[in-house]
Amino acid sequence: MLALGIDPGTAICGYGVVDLQGSHLKVLDYGAIETSPILSDAERLVIIHHEIDVLIKKYKPELVGVELLFFNKNVRTAMTVGQARGVILLAAAQNNVNLVEFTPLQVKQSVVGYGKATKEQVIYMTQRLLNLPSKPHPDDVADALAVAICTVHSVNVRRDLACAKSPLSTARIQSCWGGKL
């Protein structure tokens, strides 16, 4: 399962590409799309859309995971993050890639096992789960990698639940678990 995780933003938009083979997580790419504050909002959104489109075309992820916008006291920040999310959703739709969205609590629960984990705990576990030599930086990149991990984990959980509900048969074992229990 190959997933592109994205932490949306207009100044810094973090991304991470993660592959899950069996129970082994492998990071393929990660980084940040950074835009200059001297650009207009529209110019920044064009850059983000273009770069996300390039990533989708390059890696051909099965899913794109995006962090949901949560309530923010700063309305301007919430609006710009919402605009960045919009062009990310557009890029996924234009490339016919399914998109899943997660709250920060869901991402923390998936990566750390605790929905109220600190940013430092998420960074630490992301680094360990992906066997990275150093902490992903900036924090937006760590968040995007965490979203990618959450994306592949959630798909496996959904698949396993669906398979567990189906009648036991050889076909079920082969289709759900690749012939292995």
- Pick the catalytic residue from 51, 62, 67, 160: 67
- Pick the catalytic residue from 29, 34, 41, 140: 140
SS3 for the chain, per residue? CEEEEEECCCCEEEEEEEEEECCEEEEEEEEEEECCCCCCHHHHHHHHHHHHHHHHHHHCCCEEEEECCCCCCCHHHHHHHHHHHHHHHHHHHHCCCEEEEECHHHHHHHHHCCCCCCHHHHHHHHHHHCCCCCCCCCHHHHHHHHHHHHHHHHHHHHHHHHHHHCCCCHHHHHHHHCCCC
Q: Is 140 among the catalytic positions?
A: yes
Q: Is 7 among the catalytic positions?
A: yes
- Pick the catalytic residue from 7, 19, 43, 120: 7
Q: Is 51 among the catalytic positions?
A: no
Burial category of 18 from C-beta neighbours within 10 Å (exposed 0-12, middle 13-18, buried 19 and up)? buried
CA 59 to chain centre: 14
The catalytic residue positions are 7, 67, 140
